[in-house]
Chain A
Amino acid sequence: MKIKSTILVIEKQSRLKLLSLYELVAYKDLLYFLIVRGVKAKYSQSIFGVGWAVIQPLFTMLIFTVVFGNLAKISSDGIPYSLFSLCGLLAWTYFSAALSDASASLISNSSMISKVYFPRLILPLAALFSKLLDFIIAFIVLIAFMFYYQIVPTFQLIYFPFLLLYLLLITLGPSLIIGAWSVQYRDVKYAMTFVVQLLMYSAPVVYPLSAVPEKYKVFYSFNPLVGLIEGFRSSLLGFNPMPWNELLIGLPFCLGSILLGLITFSALEKTFADVA
């Protein structure tokens, strides 16, 4: 084994160290195996296995289609309502599930935190990536529906990978903030569960962006999920042009929440082992 001369100084950190990319790279294999663990452990010993990841968005979509599409007759910009809501749910389900997993990751792995040193940031990151499995499965369901309605994506599909990355980034900020605080205050976790449920109505999941009055649209788009969900629809279904305005307005809020998340996380992570 090659011997690297490394000098390590342990003392009370007075300055905030936001992000040590060098350290994250050194532990990239751990990240990989934690993602594998997250994916494999989730559906082992269940009869339907990954089927659960199909059932959840599918049934939510059915209920939404009946309640909001058929009964309340909410407009869906000319898109079949089921497809419209499924597309919104694709992004929203990932956001809420990944947020809940990632912010719980520090508490559920507290035994690891109190026994070994590794960059703590790896835990929420691994949770975010493992949740992509469910996303992919829901995505396949969406493709099946697109076949059924015979919808051919336009060139706007090329934006999809960027939107997916954006979705991960949007989820990262709140995950870090909530995750770090919930180690010390478990209330944060309980509160989050129901706040997230309510928040769904603050994003265009069951209704279209066009239903929001013009004068509120700018404030409305502060929520990065607004641009993202509309972007998902435009990119995949091609009924509307890409919502560049909303995406641009939301971006600084997304980046701001990541910055705030990193600050919170690095300020609190030193005490995780003591208070977890």
Chain B
Amino acid sequence: MSDTIIKVENLSKAYRIGVEDQKSETLLGSLMMVLRSPLKNFNDLRNLRNLDKESKSIFWALNDVSFEVKQGDVLGVIGHNGAGKSTLLKILSRITEPTSGKITINGRVSSLLEVGTGFHPDLSGRENIYLNGTILGMTKREIDSKLDEIIAFSGVEKYIDTPVKRYSSGMTVRLAFSVAAHLEPEILIIDEVLAVGDAEFQKKCIGKMKDISGKGRTVLFVSHNLGAIKSLCSSAILLKSGRVEFQGGVSETLNAYITKKNLLNTGKGVVSETMRTIKSEIVKIDQVLLIEDLFQPIEDVTYQDDFKVHIKMTLLNRIENALIDIRITSDEGLIIEHVLNSLLGGSHVTLESGEREFLVTIKNRLAPGNYSLNVGIHNSKGATLEYAEDVYPFTVMKVSKDARLSYPYEFVDGYSHQQGIWQTVK
């Protein structure tokens, strides 16, 4: 099963981008601009599709991209914003035409660049299933045969004959995703916009995609969610400024991407002055982030899945035998967990002056709910030198990476969950 199913050869796509308008400083000049503007507008509009001329207003979204995808591959496409990922998908989905180059696809393609395309608020859920399904390339007969499944999966049975505009946004997205999930193409092309909606829904999407790729289908998946790429894809390509920068196994490609990107340089989790409730001249906490495997800051933690906290600080003096602690507080401000480096036989740490970074792995026993991170630095006697409060709010979701471990109930009791070891005594 190693036949090439998608072959991309020297693919390029140029777009025309706007060039800044001239501005006039005199009234007469402005008047002349107004009079001349129809001609200028005409030229601008006409040039929208005129890409042959050398011009500074031409932008190559894709530049000489070549790669192959084999039958059954799940290929991740990663890269920064503007690297050309979406353009690539649009060309593969035949929405737009390449400027040069060629793609050969061997099989039936469905692409999902959005869920719920063509949904009309005045039509009922059932009618929208048919409309959306046929837009995605299904026939009426195919939809007929899967209709019950689609409705059941969406969980909106009761409202299926109600106009979609009376649905909550969550229900609309569930219905739309349900249609998409029942496509059965040989090749599936998915954009990350699929991962709209709440975090729980995203996890559901990813689970469904795992099912699809498990059935030997070929999948092309574009995402910023490196965790999802890592867990779904077997190989990946890294795009940069419209070119293929790296291509290979998923881990190597992700590593190539991460080393090129200062992931902690995102402005998230930066400690502001108001957060520093206790401060001294010795140390300052600069940034606290909750991250997943690949140094991506995240706000949503899956249930029962461990997470990491990254702490960045600047020391003006050396601190001998320091204590660093993380307090996880609940919505109400209660301290739920206390993570301390010297607890349970751990040792104190000596902090040298300069910039220091720590990565703390935390066992996640938290119940689903909203929490926040607080970080403190104390000297060996326990005196607090720095305390940053409420620096990184996050949510523990009911879903888990492993579907079996998801939190099954409607109501959440307590703040900390464990299964316990149960024995029948009598």
Write the residues of chain A forming the contact surface with B, with a CB cutoff of 8 angstroms.
1, 3-13, 27, 29-30, 32-34, 36-37, 40-41, 44-45, 109, 111-118, 184-185, 270-271, 273-275
B98 close to A12 (CB less than 8 A): yes
Q: With A40-B123, A185-B45 given, name 5 new contacts (CB 8 A).
A: A8-B104, A8-B106, A112-B118, A116-B135, A274-B96
Interface check B407, CB cutoff 8 A? no
A45–B123 Cα distance when bound, in Å, is 11
Asked if A45 meets B122 with Cβ closer than 8 Å, knowing A10-B103, A116-B136, the reply is yes
B51 → chain A closest CB, angstroms: 10
A41 close to B123 (CB less than 8 A): yes
Interface check B212, CB cutoff 8 A? no
B111 close to A116 (CB less than 8 A): yes
Asked if A37 meets B114 with Cβ closer than 8 Å, knowing A27-B134, A116-B135, the reply is no
Asked if A34 meets B104 with Cβ closer than 8 Å, knowing A116-B111, A273-B96, A274-B15, the reply is no
A11–B102 Cα distance when bound, in Å, is 5
The 9 A-B residue pairs whose C-beta atoms are closest, nearest first, are A30-B134, A117-B94, A10-B103, A29-B140, A44-B122, A11-B102, A8-B105, A273-B96, A33-B131
A212–B252 Cα distance when bound, in Å, is 80
Chain B residues lying within 8 Å of A116, measured Cβ to Cβ, are 93, 95, 111, 113-114, 117-118, 135-136
A2 → chain B closest CB, angstroms: 10
Which of B15, B99, B108 has the most C-beta atoms of chain A within 10 angstroms of its own C-beta? B108
**A9 CB contact (under 8 Å) in B48, B104, B114, B136:** B104
**B48 CB contact (under 8 Å) in A45, A109, A275:** A275
Chain B residues lying within 8 Å of A33, measured Cβ to Cβ, are 127, 130-131, 134, 140
Chain B residues lying within 8 Å of A12, measured Cβ to Cβ, are 97-100
Chain B residues lying within 8 Å of A13, measured Cβ to Cβ, are 97
A117 close to B111 (CB less than 8 A): yes
Interface check B248, CB cutoff 8 A? no
A44–B123 Cα distance when bound, in Å, is 9
Query: What number of B residues sit within 8 Å (CB to CB) of A?
Result: 46
B49 close to A274 (CB less than 8 A): yes
A196–B121 Cα distance when bound, in Å, is 31
Q: Which residue of B lies closest to A3 (CB)?
A: B186
A10 close to B102 (CB less than 8 A): yes
Asked if A117 meets B122 with Cβ closer than 8 Å, knowing A11-B103, A12-B98, A184-B48, the reply is no
A184 close to B94 (CB less than 8 A): no
Asked if A112 meets B48 with Cβ closer than 8 Å, knowing A8-B105, A10-B105, the reply is no
A5–B3 Cα distance when bound, in Å, is 13
A34 close to B103 (CB less than 8 A): no
B90 close to A273 (CB less than 8 A): yes
Interface check B139, CB cutoff 8 A? yes
Asked if A114 meets B97 with Cβ closer than 8 Å, knowing A40-B123, A44-B163, the reply is no
Chain B residues lying within 8 Å of A29, measured Cβ to Cβ, are 130, 134, 138-140
Chain A residues lying within 8 Å of B186, measured Cβ to Cβ, are 3
B137 close to A275 (CB less than 8 A): no
**A112 CB contact (under 8 Å) in B107, B117, B127, B130:** B117
Chain A residues lying within 8 Å of B99, measured Cβ to Cβ, are 12
Asked if A273 meets B123 with Cβ closer than 8 Å, knowing A8-B109, A9-B103, A33-B130, the reply is no
Chain A residues lying within 8 Å of B91, measured Cβ to Cβ, are 10
A184 close to B45 (CB less than 8 A): yes
What are 6 A-B residue pairs whose CB atoms fall within 8 Å in the complex? A5-B107, A7-B104, A11-B98, A12-B97, A44-B163, A271-B96
Q: Which residue of B lies closest to A36 (CB)?
A: B127
Within 8 A of A (CB), among B68-122: 90-109, 111, 113-114, 117-118, 120, 122
B137 close to A118 (CB less than 8 A): yes
B123 close to A117 (CB less than 8 A): no
B253 → chain A closest CB, angstroms: 24
A230–B140 Cα distance when bound, in Å, is 40
A271–B130 Cα distance when bound, in Å, is 27
A37 close to B123 (CB less than 8 A): yes
B122 close to A6 (CB less than 8 A): no
**A30 CB contact (under 8 Å) in B92, B113, B135:** B135
A116 → chain B closest CB, angstroms: 5
B62 → chain A closest CB, angstroms: 13
Chain B residues lying within 8 Å of A34, measured Cβ to Cβ, are 131
B94 close to A10 (CB less than 8 A): yes
Asked if A271 meets B49 with Cβ closer than 8 Å, knowing A6-B107, A116-B113, the reply is yes
A114 close to B95 (CB less than 8 A): yes
Q: Which residue of A lies closest to B115 (CB)?
A: A115
Chain A residues lying within 8 Å of B109, measured Cβ to Cβ, are 8
Chain B residues lying within 8 Å of A27, measured Cβ to Cβ, are 134, 137
Asked if A115 meets B122 with Cβ closer than 8 Å, knowing A6-B108, A274-B15, A274-B48, the reply is no
